[in-house]
């Protein structure tokens, strides 16, 4: 009986030692990460608590967030969207998208409006993993705002429901921001009709070329020939009989 009791304790002792290894100050970063990977798929409450703690550790963040996803630990990842660390919020948003849970649409939508571009783009990527029509109103609201996140949201709305994307694109076509205009014209080319041709022809005939873009998260961009983009959209519309 004593032997059996000792054997039964071995997994518990090993589990605790592995969790401790995650944060052992004497261990190297590689050893910390290896300890994290060794716990992959372990749903023990102590392990989950350790992974929650590891979310705030930059060297363990990627492994810990993935481990929580594989353990289906939705609530800790959802709570991590409120972290003071941008990297933690971004990682949590990325992992949450894989669950396709309608209950997460609201939190992910909020994260997609984060002031940090990495967090916002990861949250948008998570929303874009949904094929459920329930995601469309969230994406549409983001798209209407334009900007980097809005323009990418418009692209996803176009894939899911062109009829919803079209009026948003028509509004963004009037934007002074070049990327907004380009994404709008891409949508008009794919989903627009002949009623869009007069405005597109005005731009096409203007031979307008946008100045170098340096703002709104797009980085340094070369001049863009807006007139040529308008001509391309016109050609797509006219090809549809």
Phi first, then psi: what are they for 9, rounded to 5°?
A: -80, -20
Look at residue 224 in the predicted model and tell me its pLDDT.
75
CA angle 226, 125, 135 (to 5 degrees): 95
**What letters, b where the CB count within 10 A reaches 16 and e where it falls short, cover 55-91?**
bebeebbbbbbbbbbebebbebbbebbebebbbbbbb
Query: How many Cβ atoms from other residues are within 10 Å of residue 29's Cβ?
Result: 11
Per-residue CA distances from 91 to 46, 82, 130, 184, 218 (Å) = 21, 12, 17, 30, 21
What pLDDT is attached to residue 225?
84
pLDDT of 16? 45
* pLDDT tens, N- to C-terminus, the chain (241 residues): 455 544 444 444 444 436 888 999 999 999 999 999 999 989 999 999 999 999 999 999 999 999 999 999 999 999 999 999 999 999 999 999 999 999 999 999 999 999 999 999 999 999 999 999 999 999 999 999 999 999 999 999 999 999 999 999 999 999 999 999 999 999 999 999 999 999 999 999 987 665 544 444 445 555 678 999 999 999 999 998 7
CB 149 within 8 A of CB 112: yes
Q: Nearest-CA neighbor of 112 among 120, 104, 100, 101?
A: 120
Residue 13's pLDDT is what?
40
What integer pLDDT is reported at residue 138 of this predicted model? 98
- The pLDDT score that the predictor gives to residue 207 is 72
Domain ranges in the chain are: 1-130, 131-241
User: According to the model, what pLDDT value does residue 206 have?
Assistant: 86
pTM: 0.85
In DSSP terms, which residues pair with 213 in a beta bridge?
Answer: 221
SS (H, E, C) the chain: CHHHHHHHHHHHHHHHHHHHHHCCCCCCHHHHHHHHHHCCCCCCHHHHHHHHHHCCCCCCHHHHHHHHHHCCCHHHHHHHCCCCCHHHHHHHHHHHHHHCCHHHHHHHHHHCCCCCHHHHHHHHHHHHCCCCHHHHHHHHHHHHCCHHHHHHHHHHHHHHCHHHHHHHHHHHCCCCCHHHHHHHHHHHHHHCCHHHHHHHHHHHHHCCEECCECCCCCCCECCEEHHHHHHHHHHHHHHCC
pLDDT at 210 (0 to 100): 58
């Amino acid at each position: 009986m004593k032997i059996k009791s000792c054997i039964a304790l071995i997994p518990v002792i090993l589990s605790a030692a592995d969790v401790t290894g995650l944060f052992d100050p004497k261990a190297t970063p590689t050893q910390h990460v290896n300890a994290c990977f060794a716990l992959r798929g372990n749903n023990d409450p102590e392990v989950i608590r350790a992974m929650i703690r590891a979310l705030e550790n930059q060297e363990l963040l990627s492994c810990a967030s993935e481990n929580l996803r594989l353990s289906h630990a939705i609530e800790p990842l959802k709570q991590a969207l409120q972290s003071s660390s941008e990297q933690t919020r971004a990682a949590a948003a990325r992992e949450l998208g894989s669950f396709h849970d309608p209950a997460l649409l609201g939190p992910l939508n909020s994260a997609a409006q984060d002031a940090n571009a990495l967090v916002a783009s990861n949250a948008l990527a998570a929303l874009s993993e949904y094929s459920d029509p329930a995601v469309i109103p969230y994406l549409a609201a983001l798209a209407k705002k334009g900007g980097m996140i809005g323009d990418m949201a418009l692209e996803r709305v176009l894939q899911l429901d062109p009829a919803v994307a079209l009026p948003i694109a028509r509004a963004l076509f009037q934007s002074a921001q070049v990327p907004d205009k380009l994404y709008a014209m891409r949508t008009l080319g794919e989903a627009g009709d002949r009623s869009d041709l007069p405005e597109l022809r005005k731009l096409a005939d203007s031979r307008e070329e946008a100045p170098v873009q340096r703002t709104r998260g797009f980085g340094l961009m070369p001049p863009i020939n807006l007139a040529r983009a308008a001509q391309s959209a016109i050609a797509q519309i006219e090809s549809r009989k």
